Chain A
Amino acid sequence: MEHVIDIQGLVKWYGSVQALRGVDLKVQRGELLGFLGPNGAGKTTTIRCLLDQIRPQAGNIRVLGLDPQKNPVLVQRQIGYLPGELSLEGTFKVGQLFRYLIRLRGNRTDQAYLKELTRRLELDTSRKIKNLSSGNKQKVGVVQALMHQPTLLILDEPTAGLDPLMQQEVYRLLREAQSRGATVFFSSHILSEVETLADRVAIIRQGVIVEEATPDQLTEMAMRQVQVSFMDPVDLEPLRALPGVHVLAESDGLSARLRVEGEMDALIKSLAGFPVKDLQTASHSLEDIFLKYYEREEEEA
């Protein structure tokens, strides 16, 4: 399988603070990979290493088969990038900024596609950037990343500040880019966004990739919460003894809230011996797995 991004053992220090502690990550061609992690986990640092904006102290990076430190121009020619903290020259009009960025790319931009992007994102190119709302500035960022139809899109929180309608439009644009053969690597805090958009998810925590899987695989791995109530008071010890089952709360043996890791089979079989009045399982989502890693981080802290 060809890897558009191949990161091995990436280490980055900022003075005495270690931001990346050996990141290993591979992104396949044509994939839409969501990069998740709490604030300060190392998402932006990883992305900035990919673009040769910062230099790691150790590790190897290959982007589109090239070393971005040795061939930055060749790499950047094929990339569309949206920074996490987008800052633009306020005195420019939107159209002027696009013209400048197009010239930086050697005029390799399809004007018809640029017009389509601005139309679909409802962006007025005659307005000055300093007069734009943060959402409209974000649209400028999205358009400039997409307008030259790059092979690889690296987007740091692409829908930050956009209203739900525009978020949906950006999702459509990214899927269209993927259908044209582009690879999309995006970081996000919006778990529903990652869940609906990404083919695969990588979770970074404290500078290390802690999980890589499809959204479906991750939700299967998620812990479930089970709320069970009984017709008569019962002894919960047999449930406590089950592997992967934790009793979170109980009320005089008449009800219990359980956390279940893995398969439900053993619990259901055990509950068959109890006078069960009601049984509810909470629907699990990517948020559960994310929170699991997040809570673990807080516990360790």
Chain B
Amino acid sequence: MLVEFKHSLRNYGGQIAGWGFGLALLGVLLVSVYDSFADQMDMYEQLLEAFPQEFMAFFGDLGGMATPEGFVAIEFFSYMPLILGIFAIQAGSGLLARDEEEGRLDLVMAHPVSRTGLFVGRLLAFLCALAGILFIAWLGIVVPMNWSSMSLGWGEMARPFLSLYAEMALFGALGVLLSMLLPSRRLASMAAGLLLVTSFFLPGFATLNENLESVARFSPLEYYQTQEAFAGLNTLLAWWRFMRRDIRVGGEGGWRLGHLIPWSSRTE
């Protein structure tokens, strides 16, 4: 398990650097413009008053941008699930299915590593890679704060990153689960991506149309307290499926649901 963990983490190296420093750069830019933004707060408030009410309802409390917390929340964290979700879903759906579809998993699984060891090793590597990206991004905000009027503590700044980590872990785990259930990694990415985009926009639309409120309640992004539990459940189901399924070669697989039924006599 440890060998597979280290190997997978090493493979994530480029993505950790790319995503991490990209987001960190965005953080540096945001902090650097905060002072000039704060100076022009009167103009901004006038601008907000000119916006239609529906626009304001869709985007939430834009007036909160007057505070450092609100500024970072709106300018960085409000859309971050959508951006980093691309990494989480791609990495999750490719955790095992990428090597499987490219025919490499056969060779790895012919070595003395259990399915559980392989699954856990790679999952931990993904979670560490995600943590690494968010850590670098966090540094990109908190370090330049020392030269800015943005008065937020380092620990205070870590909280939204932890929340974002839970959201991304959830969508990563969903990607893993779907890649174990659907015939291809691409389909798994598409399905998880669709759910992410829907979850992201639905609460905004629900503020405009009360008929959508009942549906928006099911958005995973709305449940801050239970995202870890959902991520854990998805992971468990994905592991359960991986332990029982055939390792496909050359794009085998189909839409048959027989393989999902534990007591079915035929798998795939």
Q: Which A residues contact B (CB, under 8 angstroms)?
A: 13-15, 48, 51-55, 57, 72-74, 76-77, 79, 81, 83, 85-89, 100-101, 103-106, 141, 144
Cβ-based interface call for B102 (8 A): yes
On chain B, the residues within 8 Å of A106 by CB distance are 112
Q: CB distance B106 to A104 under 8 Å?
A: no
Cβ-based interface call for B22 (8 A): no
CB-contacts of B105-153 with A (<8 A)? 106-115
Cα–Cα, bound, A219→B250 (Å): 36
Contact segment of B43-51, B170-178, B229-237, B260-268:
B260-268
Contact indicator per residue, chain B 84-120, by CB within 8 Å of chain A (1) or not (0): 0000000000000000001110111111111100000
Q: CB distance A89 to B110 under 8 Å?
A: no
Q: CB distance A76 to B110 under 8 Å?
A: yes
Q: CB distance A53 to B103 under 8 Å?
A: no
Cα–Cα, bound, A88→B107 (Å): 8
Contact partner of A88 (CB less than 8 A), chosen from B4, B104, B256, is B104
On chain A, the residues within 8 Å of B108 by CB distance are 104
On chain A, the residues within 8 Å of B106 by CB distance are 48, 53, 83, 87
Cα–Cα, bound, A88→B268 (Å): 25
Number of B interface residues, CB 8 Å? 28
| Known A-B contacts A14-B268, A85-B103; A103 and B113 likewise in contact (beta carbons under 8 Å) | no
| Known A-B contacts A72-B114, A85-B249, A87-B104; A51 and B254 likewise in contact (beta carbons under 8 Å) | no
Contact partner of B107 (CB less than 8 A), chosen from A15, A73, A83, is A83
Cβ-based interface call for B246 (8 A): yes
Q: CB distance A105 to B111 under 8 Å?
A: yes
Contact partner of B112 (CB less than 8 A), chosen from A76, A83, A88, A141, is A76
Cβ-based interface call for B7 (8 A): yes
Given A77-B112, A83-B107, 6 more pairs with CB closer than 8 A? A14-B252, A53-B247, A54-B247, A73-B114, A76-B110, A87-B107
- Min CB distance B68 to A, Å, is 42
Contact partner of B3 (CB less than 8 A), chosen from A85, A104, A144, is A104
| Known A-B contacts A53-B247, A54-B247; A87 and B103 likewise in contact (beta carbons under 8 Å) | yes
- Min CB distance B96 to A, Å, is 13
On chain B, the residues within 8 Å of A83 by CB distance are 103, 106-107, 110
